[in-house]
Amino acid sequence: MKKIKKIGRDAQLKISSLRELITFLWKQKLWWMIPMVTILVFFGIFLIAAQGTSIIHFIYPLF
pTM confidence score: 0.50
Residue 26 belongs to domain spanning: 2-62
| pLDDT of res. 31 | 79
Of residues 3 and 42, the one with the higher pLDDT is 42
CA pair distance 14, 45, nearest whole angstrom: 12
Residue pLDDT, tens place only, 16-43: 777 888 888 888 888 788 888 889 888 8
User: 56: pLDDT confidence band, cut at 50, 70 and 90?
Assistant: low
Average pLDDT over residues 51-56: 67
SS3 track for the chain:
CHHHHHHHHHHHHHHHHHHHHHHHHHHCCCHHHHHHHHHHHHHHHHHHHCCCHHHHHHHHHHC
Please tell me the total count of domains within the chain: 1
Contact by Cβ (8 Å): 25, 34 = yes
